[in-house]
Structure 1
Amino acid sequence: MTTTLSQRQHVETILSALANPAPTGEEALIERSWKRCIDRYGLDPSRPSPARYVPGSTLREHQDQADALLQVARAGVEQLYRQVAPLGYVVLLTDARGIAVQFLGAKNNQREHQRTGLYLGSDWSESHAGTCAVGTCIHERTALTCHHSDHFSAHHIQLTCTAAPVFDPHGQLLAVLDISAYRSPTGKESQTFALQLVKYTAKMIEDAYFLQRYGDRHIVCLDRSREFVQINRRYLLAMEEDGTLVAANTAGRKLLRHHGLPLPEAGEARPFQAWNVRDLLDSEVEEILAIPHHSDDRVQAFHTRRHREIHFATLIEPPRRPSVGQPVSRDSSLAPLEALADDDPSMRDTLTRAARLRNEPINILVVGETGTGKERMARALHDASRRRDKPFVAINCAAMPESLIESELFGYEPGSFTGARSKGMKGLIVQADGGTLFLDEIGDMPLQLQTRLLRVLAEQEVLPIGASRPIKVDLRVVAATHRDLRERVQTGSFREDLFYRLNGASLRLPPLRERADKGYLIRRIFAELNEQRGSRVRLRGDAMSALLAYPWPGNIRELHNALHFALATCEGDEIVVGDLPEECVHGRLAHPGASQGMTLLATTSPSEPPIQQDLLYRALCRHHWNISAVARELGLSRPTIYRRMKRLGIVPPNQQPAS
Structure 2
Amino acid sequence: MQLRNEQRQHIHTLTRLAEDQMSGLDTYRDVIRRSWERCMGEYHLDPTRPRSVRVLTQQALKEHREPVDELLHVARAGVDQLFAQVAPLGYVLLLADQRGITVDFRGQRDQEADLRRAGLHLGLDWGERHAGTCAVGTCLHEARAITCHQNEHFDATHIDLTCTAAAITDPQGNVIAVLDISALRSPRASESQNFCLPMVSLYARMIEDAYFLHRYRDSLILRFDTTRAFVHLNGKGLIAIEEDGSIIAANGEGRGLIEAHLQRWPPWSVDLLPNANQLFDCEVSDLLSIPYSSEDQIRAFRVRASEAICFITVMEPRGPRAYQRPTPSTPTPVPALDRLASDDPAMHRLIKLARRLRNEMVNVLITGETGTGKEVLARALHDSGSRAEGPFVAVNCAAIPESLIESELFGYLPGAFTGGRSKGMRGLIQQADGGTLFLDEIGDMPLTLQTRLLRVLAESEVMPLGAEKAVRVDIRVITATHRDMHELIAHGQFREDLYYRLNGAQLRLPALRERADKHFIIRSIYGSLVAERQCDVRLRADAMSALLAYAWPGNIRQLKNALRFALATTEGEEITVHDLPEECRGRVASTPQVIESPPQSDVCESGQALHTLLQETGWNISDVARRLGVSRPTVYRRMRRHALVSPNRRSIDEMTDMEESDKYHLDPRSKA
TM-score range, shorter chain: 0.3 to 0.5
Q: If you compute each CA radius of gyration, which structure gives the higher value, 1 or 2? A: 2
In the superposition, the TM-score normalised over structure 1's length comes to 0.46
